[in-house]
A and B are shown apart, each in its own frame.
Chain A
Amino acid sequence: MTFGQFLLVAVLAVPALGAVAVAATPADRAARLVGTVAAGLTLLAALPLAAGDRGWFAWSATAPAVRPWHQLDLPWVPGLELRFHLGVDGISYPLVVLTALLTLLCCLYSLHQVPAGGSGRTLVALLLVIEVGILGTFLALDLVLFFLFFEVVLLPMYAVIAGWGGDDRRRAARKFVLYTLFGSVLLLVGVYVVVSAAGTADIVALTGGGGLSRGTQLFAFTLLALAFAVKSPLWPLHSWLPDAHTQAPTVGSVVLAGVLLKMGTYGLIRVAVGVAPEGARWAAPVLGVLAVAAILVGALVCLAQTELKRLIAYSSVGHMGFVLLGVATLTSTGIQAALIGNVAHGVITGLLFFLAGAVKDRTHTGALAELSGLRETAPRLAGLLGFAAIASLGLPGLAGFWGEAFAVIAAIEVGGPLWTTVGVLAAVGGALTAAYFLRLLRQVTHGRPSPAVGRLAPTLAGGELTAWAPLVLLALAIGLAPALVLGIAEAPVNALVEVLP
């Protein structure tokens, strides 16, 4: 077993064992500490995955379109031909690190504060289980394994929302679980269609079409794309998201927006586009139009939104629209834009939900009408909220810019009346994004302090700063040096684009 294979196993085993250890530790605070250590170790195991021989497969005409830096391929259930096949490459690595980082930050935040509703110990254990599921989804190179990890996430997330959420948590959690379960059914059918037609579940072998007939590809792509569209979520299959976000506790929202949604967009790129490229080509115009609809609808709904967390949730719909637009162009530029947009959204929206949670915990309200003048009483919190909002509206120089601008540029690059229109409308959606975020800032930070804001203390807790600072720095770092993400993604994306019809 090489060091890389050891790391691949460790990335999944450490949080899984950590969850068990947390559950076994009787004292609440000690258990949260154990969980935080486990999350930290996971991040430490994930980071060095980048090291090693990236020329694992020498470039040749017959090389597969997925060339993992490290992989581990073991028989799992030989009778069913199931294999335990893990691997990491430039497409999955940034998301793996992002997941490990955000889980660590959520655990750190849980050391500082546990939302009402249950014990902090259980919450941290559930977070670690969710982490196992998400990391497994990003690492799996076997379709059935991918599906299993995809499903691992569902119930713990349900428990987090239903256990630690707001007043209307049960309804929101039920809606979340039923809606995404509906998507999972489609995913299961899609996986079954592909595996039974191709006779293998190996993503490496399947990428590029793998000998699937055109009809199978169209059918499989439709099923898979619908399944991932529910998870991402892509308009008009998004309506579980605002409720789930509004009701979820802060850490739940952060994980949900930061990485859980990314399973959908990652699946779209790696599985749906990779396995059924002809289907992707066939559906690309529809996806592009839906993406622009998501951008515009998300922005317009945000303009008329009256609740802080709901607004941020809807902003995710718009941002995921840009990611989908990038994917839909099926060009190297577009898919790279989608990848960096994915990562940037995880960082920035994670930060936004942390800050919105802090505002809501302090003022006990999320209604925009009751929030005003935050910069007078809590200037640092207001400053951070301003930073996050500005980053989210896609200011050049910050992380959000690259994904949005290059999704537009990729659409223009494809050319033709349809894609040009799509690109122009997406750019207009970018301006609308600015409109609702500035409306948010004007309402919340400027003006005279409202009664709910007037009694705030100006200080931030150490635990809060520890959890937020890495995200602030990352939003700045990715904005200034996008090559952090794109440098490693270029080769695998080019390899993927080459096998597209």
Chain B
Amino acid sequence: MNGTTVLGVLLPVVPLVAGLLGLLLPPSPRGLTAHGRDAAAGETWARRVAIALGVTGAAGALALAVALLATSDSPTEASTTWVRLGGLDVSLGVRLDGAAALVAVAVGAVALAVQVYSIGYLKRGPHDDVDVDHRYPPYAAQISLFTAAMLLVVVSGDLLLLLVGWEVMGICSYLLIAHDRRLPEAPAAAVKAFLVTRVGDVGFLLGIALLGVSAGSFRIADVLAADHSAGTLTAACLLLLAGVAGKSAQFPLHTWLPDAMAGPTPISALIHAATMVAAGVYAVTRLYPLFVAAPVALTVLGVLASVTLLLGALAATAQDDIKRVLAWSTVSQIGYMTGALAVGSPGAALFHLLTHAAFKALLFLAAGAVIHAVGTTLMSKMGGLRRAMPVTFWCTVIGLGALAGLPPLAGFWSKDGVLAAAQEAALDGAGPTPSWVGWLVWLSGLAGVAITAWYATRLLLRAFLGETRAPLAHPHDPPGTLRWPVLLLAVPAALLGFAGFAGPFADRLQPSAPATAERPSDLLPPEPLVHLAPSVLLPLALLLLGAGLAWARWRRDPAADPAAALGPLRPVFAAAFRLDDVQHALVVRPYRALARMVRAGDERVVDGAVEGSGRAASSLGAGLAALHRAALPRAAAGVLAGALLIGLAAALIGANA
């Protein structure tokens, strides 16, 4: 075990230990209120320790990830047997390459920002009448566990170990989304988030089972090196995609993500930026050689990506809740990443994953500052915040610019990389999938650029410009614990794109050697991450078109919502094509009815048979007992009749013998 492997092993362990220790702290200060002042002291004590543990865990993970990035020059792998079941080996191991280190840095950075931001965000101010800081220790501990789980997914060298991180992340998201006690919808949203992803995970587990059984081992290196039959491979990849669609909120399993906005805003940032939704895309890049060999799966992925990309972008246009706009934009941006995977460019997908992590975390944390200041998430009650909150405003401008793909911000370069890959697949048939998939991804990606620009502009105009629609609020830029994470995240959101030019960065995303069992390198041979071709003018024109349309509409009437331009489509987009209702009608309600039916059947039929035979035996016994309760004449007659019968029988048998 060399130094690099030690770093890789410690990466998930450090936040895990911080999280487990944090769970041991007194969970809620409210329980102690009977003791008066002691309670306040105990509360601050537990809260301080929780903050220290959370920040230390995240900072430690970030430091380890940076060290890993600095020291790892070639992909390494180390593992030891975890357990053997029958002929199947489950190993406990890490598999580290440049892409893993880069994603780990992103995870660590966002986790640290979220931990620091939460200190200020979940703190009871002097004028707050509700205790927003209740149950802070478990909250911070769950963030640490969440971070550890994602880092485990990132470094894991074994599919089952990856599944551990994958599902622990799901349960942490469940716990964190349900954290806010003031929102009655939060528990339901949390359950939905876990269950929808769990439905996808059924496929993920089965896919892993197929691959593991076929390879005789769950080690990623063994699975990649094994010789799978074509049918197994296609089936396994399609099943894995179900899990990917669940975690990365791809159609049709995307429905949990917008509801997950019921979680505290820093949690939204964590889920949407570098963890959870990124896990699905990352998992595909880990197993990319398998997917290349199963083009059917990639074709399905491409279709789903295009649907998701447009669906998310269109749904984002009509939301009034600022967090929901951002949530749908996440759905749409993940669509770009999966689209890049479908057209054969995992490097572009990872590049967009990293820039997206930076600008989406920035946007959510900035939105949190707005919500903190005005006390609502609805844009119809904002407006004119630019003057009162200049720092937040400029950071949001950077974030939205990066989201829309405005040069030279980070999102421009990475989105252009995706579009260039799709274009190449469409025009030259360069990808592993048929060229129509390339066309599909390219065209929907281009349409997405215009729509993204439109809703990003709308968000900016509605929240920050024009006249205020909340005259009673006194907005202000947030305090330091909220401001610094936002400011620091603005740097990569603005500049990370230039890293695409830098050799080491691009090389790490796309190691040069093809994958072998000895030298794990997941990705394809290098191709430029940044494309500066004349075709770049096309998305730019579309961007200007989208932004210009929104701006023109707003100029005509600054008080009105530009979404009014959508006309009759607006409620359809706002309800995201009513897919929630479809899901409710087709899945949730039938299942509930089935459950009630099965319960009734179990109690009446299965148990009824048991109880019935018990009752039958009892009544048979009662009947026989009644027969024996006879008055003397009948009893005497009975005895005589019995004696006669026995005598007759004896005589007959004796005669025969």
Binding site for B on A (CB under 8 A): 175, 178-179, 235-236, 238-240, 297, 300-301, 303-305, 331-334, 336-337, 375-380, 383, 386, 390, 395-397, 401-402, 405-406, 408-410, 412-413, 423-424, 427-428, 430-431, 434-435, 438-439, 442, 446-447, 458-459, 482-483, 486-487, 490
Q: With A410-B85, A412-B209, A427-B202 given, can you name 4 additional A-B contacts, CB distance below 8 Å?
A: A409-B209, A435-B195, A482-B82, A486-B84
Residues of B within 8 A of A305 (CB): 599
Q: Is B258 an interface residue (CB 8 A)?
A: no
Q: Is B581 an interface residue (CB 8 A)?
A: no
Alpha-carbon separation in the docked complex, A486 to B86 (Å)? 10
Given contacts A303-B591, A396-B160, contact A447 B168 (CB under 8 A): no
Alpha-carbon separation in the docked complex, A362 to B209 (Å)? 44
Q: Is B201 an interface residue (CB 8 A)?
A: yes
Residues of A within 8 A of B73 (CB): none
Tell me the nearest residue of chain B to A331, going by C-beta: B86
The 9 closest A-B pairs by CB, nearest first: A458-B31, A333-B86, A332-B86, A303-B595, A239-B607, A379-B27, A446-B187, A396-B164, A304-B599
Is A431 a contact of B188 with CB atoms below 8 Å?
Answer: no
Alpha-carbon separation in the docked complex, A328 to B594 (Å)? 27
Alpha-carbon separation in the docked complex, A487 to B83 (Å)? 7
Shortest distance in angstroms between A251's beta carbon and chain B's nearest beta carbon?
25
A-B contact pairs, 21 of them (CB 8 A): A175-B614, A239-B606, A297-B602, A301-B602, A331-B86, A336-B85, A375-B28, A376-B181, A380-B27, A396-B168, A397-B167, A405-B163, A409-B88, A412-B206, A427-B202, A431-B201, A431-B202, A435-B195, A435-B198, A438-B191, A458-B31
Q: Is B598 an interface residue (CB 8 A)?
A: yes
Is B602 a contact of A383 with CB atoms below 8 Å?
Answer: no
Residues of B within 8 A of A397 (CB): 164, 167-168
Residues of B within 8 A of A428 (CB): 202
Is B198 a contact of A431 with CB atoms below 8 Å?
Answer: yes
Residues of A within 8 A of B206 (CB): 408, 412, 423-424, 427
Given contacts A175-B614, A412-B206, A446-B187, contact A300 B88 (CB under 8 A): no
Alpha-carbon separation in the docked complex, A222 to B35 (Å)? 64
Residues of B within 8 A of A240 (CB): 610
Binding site for A on B (CB under 8 A): 23, 27-28, 30-32, 82-88, 135, 138, 160, 163-164, 166-168, 171, 174-175, 178, 181, 184, 186-188, 190-191, 194-195, 198-199, 201-202, 205-206, 209-210, 212-213, 591-592, 594-596, 598-599, 602, 606-607, 610, 614
Shortest distance in angstroms between B583's beta carbon and chain A's nearest beta carbon?
14
Tell me the nearest residue of chain B to A372, going by C-beta: B187
Residues of A within 8 A of B187 (CB): 442, 446-447
Is B83 a contact of A483 with CB atoms below 8 Å?
Answer: yes
Tell me the nearest residue of chain B to A424, going by C-beta: B206
Shortest distance in angstroms between B441's beta carbon and chain A's nearest beta carbon?
30
Residues of A within 8 A of B32 (CB): 458
Is A304 a contact of B85 with CB atoms below 8 Å?
Answer: no
Is B594 a contact of A300 with CB atoms below 8 Å?
Answer: yes
Is B607 a contact of A408 with CB atoms below 8 Å?
Answer: no
Residues of B within 8 A of A406 (CB): 85
Shortest distance in angstroms between B33's beta carbon and chain A's nearest beta carbon?
10
Residues of A within 8 A of B212 (CB): 409
Alpha-carbon separation in the docked complex, A483 to B91 (Å)? 12
Shortest distance in angstroms between A316's beta carbon and chain B's nearest beta carbon?
14
Residues of B within 8 A of A405 (CB): 160, 163, 205, 209
Alpha-carbon separation in the docked complex, A424 to B175 (Å)? 28
Residues of A within 8 A of B166 (CB): 396
Residues of B within 8 A of A377 (CB): 31
Alpha-carbon separation in the docked complex, A240 to B83 (Å)? 36
Shortest distance in angstroms between A5's beta carbon and chain B's nearest beta carbon?
31
Given contacts A179-B610, A397-B168, A423-B209, contact A379 B191 (CB under 8 A): no
Residues of A within 8 A of B85 (CB): 332-333, 336-337, 402, 406, 409-410, 486
Is B84 a contact of A490 with CB atoms below 8 Å?
Answer: yes
Residue among B178, B592, B594 with the most chain A CB within 10 A?
B178
Shortest distance in angstroms between A402's beta carbon and chain B's nearest beta carbon?
8
Alpha-carbon separation in the docked complex, A423 to B239 (Å)? 14
Is B83 a contact of A482 with CB atoms below 8 Å?
Answer: yes
Shortest distance in angstroms between A172's beta carbon and chain B's nearest beta carbon?
12
Residues of B within 8 A of A235 (CB): 606
Alpha-carbon separation in the docked complex, A244 to B206 (Å)? 36
Is A301 a contact of B595 with CB atoms below 8 Å?
Answer: yes
Residue among B174, B591, B592, B595 with the most chain A CB within 10 A?
B595
Given contacts A434-B194, A438-B195, A446-B187, contact A412 B210 (CB under 8 A): yes
Shortest distance in angstroms between A231's beta carbon and chain B's nearest beta carbon?
15
Shortest distance in angstroms between B53's beta carbon and chain A's nearest beta carbon?
16
Residues of A within 8 A of B201 (CB): 431
Shortest distance in angstroms between B428's beta carbon and chain A's nearest beta carbon?
39
Residues of A within 8 A of B83 (CB): 402, 482-483, 486-487
Residues of A within 8 A of B135 (CB): 375, 379
Partner of B198, one of A179, A434, A490: A434
Partner of B592, one of A175, A238, A303, A390: A303
Alpha-carbon separation in the docked complex, A397 to B20 (Å)? 13
Given contacts A239-B606, A332-B87, A409-B88, contact A383 B598 (CB under 8 A): no
Is A413 a contact of B86 with CB atoms below 8 Å?
Answer: yes
Residues of B within 8 A of A378 (CB): 31
Is A427 a contact of B205 with CB atoms below 8 Å?
Answer: yes
Alpha-carbon separation in the docked complex, A167 to B172 (Å)? 39
Shortest distance in angstroms between A236's beta carbon and chain B's nearest beta carbon?
5
Residue among A390, A431, A487 with the most chain B CB within 10 A?
A431
Residues of B within 8 A of A431 (CB): 195, 198-199, 201-202
Shortest distance in angstroms between A229's beta carbon and chain B's nearest beta carbon?
13
Residues of A within 8 A of B598 (CB): 297, 300-301, 304
Shortest distance in angstroms between A259's beta carbon and chain B's nearest beta carbon?
23
Tell me the nearest residue of chain B to A479, going by C-beta: B164
Is A304 a contact of B213 with CB atoms below 8 Å?
Answer: no
Is A395 a contact of B168 with CB atoms below 8 Å?
Answer: yes
Is A236 a contact of B606 with CB atoms below 8 Å?
Answer: yes
Shortest distance in angstroms between B5's beta carbon and chain A's nearest beta carbon?
19
Alpha-carbon separation in the docked complex, A383 to B83 (Å)? 30
Shortest distance in angstroms between B22's beta carbon and chain A's nearest beta carbon?
12
Alpha-carbon separation in the docked complex, A179 to B171 (Å)? 39
Shortest distance in angstroms between B201's beta carbon and chain A's nearest beta carbon?
7
Tell me the nearest residue of chain A to B608, going by C-beta: A239
Shortest distance in angstroms between B211's beta carbon and chain A's nearest beta carbon?
10
Alpha-carbon separation in the docked complex, A396 to B171 (Å)? 10
Residues of A within 8 A of B186 (CB): 446
Shortest distance in angstroms between B586's beta carbon and chain A's nearest beta carbon?
16
Residues of B within 8 A of A424 (CB): 206
Shortest distance in angstroms between A489's beta carbon and chain B's nearest beta carbon?
10
Alpha-carbon separation in the docked complex, A428 to B28 (Å)? 36
Residues of B within 8 A of A376 (CB): 28, 30, 181
Alpha-carbon separation in the docked complex, A486 to B82 (Å)? 11
Alpha-carbon separation in the docked complex, A487 to B210 (Å)? 24
Is A410 a contact of B86 with CB atoms below 8 Å?
Answer: yes
Is B167 a contact of A483 with CB atoms below 8 Å?
Answer: no
Residue among A297, A396, A428 with the most chain B CB within 10 A?
A396
Is A379 a contact of B213 with CB atoms below 8 Å?
Answer: no
Alpha-carbon separation in the docked complex, A401 to B166 (Å)? 13
Alpha-carbon separation in the docked complex, A301 to B195 (Å)? 18
Shortest distance in angstroms between A490's beta carbon and chain B's nearest beta carbon?
6
Alpha-carbon separation in the docked complex, A337 to B201 (Å)? 20
Is A408 a contact of B606 with CB atoms below 8 Å?
Answer: no
Alpha-carbon separation in the docked complex, A379 to B43 (Å)? 14
Residues of A within 8 A of B27 (CB): 375, 379-380, 383
Residues of B within 8 A of A402 (CB): 83, 85
Residues of B within 8 A of A304 (CB): 592, 595-596, 598-599
Is B181 a contact of A439 with CB atoms below 8 Å?
Answer: no
Is B82 a contact of A379 with CB atoms below 8 Å?
Answer: no
Alpha-carbon separation in the docked complex, A320 to B599 (Å)? 18
Is B202 a contact of A430 with CB atoms below 8 Å?
Answer: yes
